[in-house]
Amino acid sequence: MEYFINALTNYADFTGRARRREYWYFNLYYFVFYLIVIALDAVSTAGGFTALYTLAMIVPSLSVLVRRLHDTSRTGWWLLLIFIPVLGHLILLYFLVQDSHQDNEYGYNPKGGILC
**Do 110 and 18 contact (CB within 8 A), yes or no?**
yes
92: closest CA among 78, 106, 104?
Answer: 78
- What per-residue confidence (pLDDT) applies to 113? 59
- 114 — pLDDT class (breaks 50, 70, 90): low
Interacting residues of 88 by C-beta distance below 8 A, sequence separation 6+:
81, 82
**Do 95 and 67 contact (CB within 8 A), yes or no?**
no
Domain count, the chain: 1
Count other Cβ atoms within 10 Å, centred on residue 111: 16
Residue 106 lies in a domain: no
Residue 83 lies in a domain: yes
pLDDT tens-digit map of 69-113: 999 999 999 999 999 999 999 999 999 999 887 888 888 887 765
**Model pTM score:** 0.84
Residue 20 is part of which domain span? 2-97
pLDDT tens-digit map of 20-71: 999 999 999 999 999 999 999 999 888 899 999 999 999 999 999 999 999 9
Residue 111 lies in a domain: no
Rounded mean pLDDT of the chain? 91
